[in-house]
Amino acid sequence: MDLELGGKVAIITGAAGGIGRATANIFAAEGARTVVVDRNAKGGMETVAEIRKAGGEAIFIRADVATAAGASRMVGRAVEAFGGIDVLHNNAAIIRSHSVTETSEAEWDLILRVDLKSVYLCSRACIPVMKKRGGGAIVHTASVHSFASIPAISAYAAAKGGVLALTRQMAQDYAADGIRVNCVCPGATDTPMLRTAINETENPRKTWKQWEQACPLNRIGKPEDIGHAVVFLASPRASFVTGQALIVDGGLLAKL
């Protein structure tokens, strides 16, 4: 099925690895001109190399998306390279495994800044450019933690709950401009973030197995599982979908 993304300009933040890299590869395979954004230059350039090797079009922009200057530079460079922006995937995030009483104020501020404020900053920078184009699509990466929780993940869960609420809210403000806003909510997905978090547990092998068994589909997600959902939400095939959360978790949240 042609997703009608040929020639569209798609920005993906946090695309130096994991879900962002997989999503960038899929956008490019669908013919989108892809803007790979990350603060990790080595990983970002690797993503661009993968895309080009497969015959796609991509550039890398090094930026800290949790700063207004980074978000603004990202948009400026994307417009310079490709003349506009059609899609923004707000995907960059970090995680820390702490309860409220274990979380320092500095750590709380850091997580909320990277995981929630960056979504506001990058959207704020992109939307005027999308409006000039007559519309666009924004997809945030929220999480299963937007809906349910586990011990010791306080700031991350708060940020991801915020991303879900902001998805619904932004959909109201920009519908008249032809801009749809949705989010994808991954369950446990095999990326550097998940591997680091699992390796911090007492028995990583057991924890990995537990996450697999918690899913009716009995496996950890692949980054591409999430990427395909993002690319669908960003495409004209989802033209009547806005303000929604697409949960991609192998059935994890469907289980009592």
For the annotated catalytic residues, the residue numbers are 156
Stretch binding ligand NAD (CB under 6 A), from 13-21, 171-179, 198-206, 232-240: 13-21
Which residues 24-53 are close enough to bind ligand NAD by CB under 6 A? Answer: 38-40, 43
Binding mask 202-241 for ligand NAD (x = CB under 6 A): ----------------------------------------
Instruction: Answer for the pair 213, 185: CB distance below 8 angstroms, yes or no.
Output: no
Q: Which of 8, 10, 11, 18 binds ligand NAD (CB under 6 A)?
A: 18
Tokens of 96: 């820390």
Residue 168 burial by Cβ neighbours in a 10 Å radius (0-12, 13-18, 19+):
middle
Note whether 194 binds ligand NAD by CB under 6 A: yes
Tokens of 156: 């991350």
Beta carbon nearer to ligand NAD, 177 or 224: 224
From residue 175, how far is each of 136, 146, 182 by CA, in Å?
10, 23, 11
Tokens of 25: 């590869």
Q: Closest distance between ligand NAD and the C-beta of residue 185, in Å?
A: 7
Tokens of 5: 């993304």
Q: How far apart are CA 6 and CA 34, in angstroms?
A: 11
CA atoms within 13 A on the CB side of 133: 19
Stretch binding ligand NAD (CB under 6 A), from 15-23, 79-87, 99-107, 122-130: 15-23
Q: Closest distance between ligand NAD and the C-beta of residue 55, in Å?
A: 24
Helix and strand tally (H, E) in the chain? 9, 7
Q: Which of 3, 9, 28, 92 binds ligand NAD (CB under 6 A)?
A: 92
Q: How far apart are CA 22 and CA 41, in angstroms?
A: 17
**φ and ψ of 240, to 5 deg:** -110, 15
Could you tell me how many residues of this chain bind ligand NAD (CB under 6 A)? 28
Longest pairwise C-alpha distance within the chain:
52
Note whether 251 binds ligand NAD by CB under 6 A: no
Beta carbon nearer to ligand NAD, 135 or 251: 251
Q: Which of 71, 114, 122, 157 binds ligand NAD (CB under 6 A)?
A: 114
Tokens of 220: 């950890």
Note whether 86 binds ligand NAD by CB under 6 A: no
Which helix (H) or strand (E) segment is 90 a member of?
A: strand 87-90
Binding mask 133-162 for ligand NAD (x = CB under 6 A): --------x-x-------------------
Which residues here bind ligand NAD, judged by CB under 6 A? 13-14, 16-20, 38-40, 43, 64-66, 91-94, 114, 141, 143, 186, 188-189, 191-194
